C-alpha cells in the first residue's frame, strides 16, 4: 500500500525536523519520475508559462492551462502531494466567491490536493474563504512572480528592515488564516530562518537559505535543461541540455548517413 503524502505528513516532518522536498512538474512522465524518486510534493507552478509555454513571465497563464497540466501530473503521481498555483487574476479580485470557484475548479477537475496563492495580508480573506470551502492552501511570500512588474524584475526581496518586518507579519497572518505551508522565495537566509522559527507550519524555501523546513526548485533548472539563465540559488544535478541536444544531433546524423534504422530495427 502506498503511503500518500498528506498535510499531516508535512507537519510531522517539521515537528521531527525532517526536511521536506518539493519539485515542479508539468506533465505525466516527469511527475511519475519525481514521484518514484520519493519527493514529497509536486508543484504544478504557473512557472509552466515560462518553462513549457515560452512566455516571458507567468502572467499569461490561465486557469485552463493550470488544470490541463495538473491533470497530467496527478495521473503520474501516486505518493507525492500535488499542489497547483492559482494563476494571475484568478484571485486578488473583488469577488471572493470567484476566487473560491477558481480554486474549486482546479481541485475538482485536476484532483490536485491543494492550491498555492501568492500574497500576504492582502489575500487573507480569500485564503480563509477558500479553506472554509474545504480547499487546502499553501502560501507564498518574498519574490512572488505574479508581481514581477511591481518588483521591476526577479530580484531578492526584503533586504530593508521595514520590508522584512512586513513579511514576518504577512507570514503570521497567513498562518492565522489557516494555510498548511508557506513558500519563501528569494529572501535573505537570516529572515527565512526567523520566519521558520516563528511559524508552527512548514516553510519551503527557494533562494531562502538552508534553515527552511524544506526546499523547492524548478525541475528543468536543477536538471540543467534551461541553459539561458541559471539563478544563483539553483544547484544543477544534471546537464541534460547538452545531452539532449547531442542525442538529437546523433539521430539526425544517423538518419542522414543511413545508419538508422538498421536491419534489427526493421521488419521483414
126 assigned to active site? no
- According to DSSP, the β-strands at 20-24 and 41-44 are parallel
* 121 and 169 together in one domain: yes
* 164 and 261 together in one domain: no
Q: Can you tell me which residue has the cell 520566519?
A: 195
pLDDT digits (tens, 9 = 90+) for 121-164: 999 999 999 999 999 999 999 987 665 555 445 567 788 999 99
* 106 and 128 together in one domain: yes
Q: Pick the catalytic residue: 109, 185, 253, 254?
A: 185
Binding residues for Mg(2+): 46, 85, 118
* 197 and 266 together in one domain: no
Binding residues: 46-47, 85, 116, 118
Cα of 267 vs its chain's centroid, Å? 45
- pLDDT for 151 equals 44
pLDDT digits (tens, 9 = 90+) for 196-250: 999 999 999 999 999 999 999 999 999 999 766 677 788 999 999 999 999 999 9
Binding residues for 3-methyl-2-oxobutanoate: 46-47, 85, 116
Domain tally, the chain: 2
Q: Can you tell me which residue has the cell 536538471?
A: 223
pLDDT digits (tens, 9 = 90+) for 94-117: 899 999 999 999 999 999 999 999
pLDDT digits (tens, 9 = 90+) for 62-86: 999 999 999 999 999 999 999 999 9
Say if 33 falls within a structural domain. Answer: yes
What mean pLDDT do residues 249-253 have?
A: 97
* 190 and 253 together in one domain: no
Nearest Cα to 84, choosing from 51, 44, 52, 117?
Answer: 44
* 134 and 65 together in one domain: yes
Query: pTM above the 0.85 mark?
Result: yes
CATH number of 167's domain:
3.20.20.60
Could you tell me which residue, 42 or 226, shows the higher pLDDT? 42
Domain range spanning residue 258? 241-268
Q: Measure the CA angle with vertex 110, ends 104 and 116; round to 5°.
A: 60
Nearest Cα to 43, choosing from 112, 124, 135, 107?
Answer: 112
Say if 258 falls within a structural domain. Answer: yes
- pLDDT for 226 equals 73
- What is d(CA 141, CA 118) in angstroms, rounded to the nearest whole number? 6
Q: How many residues does the chain have?
A: 268
Amino acid at each position: 500500500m502506498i503511503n500518500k503524502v498528506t498535510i499531516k505528513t508535512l507537519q510531522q516532518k517539521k515537528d521531527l525536523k525532517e526536511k521536506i522536498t518539493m519539485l515542479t512538474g508539468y506533465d505525466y512522465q516527469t511527475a511519475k519520475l519525481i514521484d518514484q524518486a520519493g519527493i514529497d510534493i509536486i508543484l504544478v507552478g504557473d512557472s509552466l508559462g515560462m518553462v513549457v509555454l515560452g512566455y516571458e513571465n507567468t502572467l499569461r497563464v490561465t486557469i485552463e492551462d493550470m488544470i490541463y497540466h495538473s491533470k497530467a501530473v496527478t495521473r503520474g503521481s501516486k505518493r507525492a502531494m500535488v499542489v497547483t498555483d492559482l494563476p494571475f487574476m484568478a484571485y486578488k479580485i473583488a469577488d471572493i466567491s470567484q476566487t473560491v470557484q477558481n480554486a474549486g475548479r482546479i481541485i475538482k477537475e485536476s484532483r490536485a490536493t491543494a492550491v498555492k496563492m501568492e500574497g500576504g495580508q492582502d489575500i487573507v480573506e480569500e485564503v480563509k474563504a477558500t479553506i472554509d470551502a474545504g480547499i487546502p492552501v499553501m502560501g507564498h511570500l518574498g519574490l512572488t512572480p505574479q508581481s514581477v512588474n511591481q518588483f521591476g524584475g526577479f530580484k531578492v526581496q526584503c533586504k530593508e528592515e521595514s520590508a522584512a518586518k512586513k513579511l514576518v507579519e504577512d507570514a503570521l497572518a497567513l498562518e492565522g488564516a489557516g494555510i498548511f505551508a508557506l513558500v519563501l522565495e528569494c529572501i535573505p537566509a537570516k529572515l527565512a530562518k526567523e520566519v521558520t522559527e516563528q511559524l508552527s507550519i512548514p516553510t519551503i524555501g527557494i533562494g531562502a537559505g538552508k534553515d527552511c523546513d524544506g526546499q523547492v526548485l524548478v525541475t528543468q533548472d536543477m536538471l540543467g535543461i534551461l541553459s539561458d539563465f541559471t539563478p544563483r540559488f539553483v544547484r544543477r544535478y544534471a546537464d541534460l541540455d547538452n545531452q539532449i541536444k547531442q542525442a538529437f544531433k546523433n539521430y539526425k546524423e544517423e538518419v542522414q548517413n543511413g545508419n538508422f534504422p538498421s536491419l534489427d530495427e526493421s521488419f521483414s
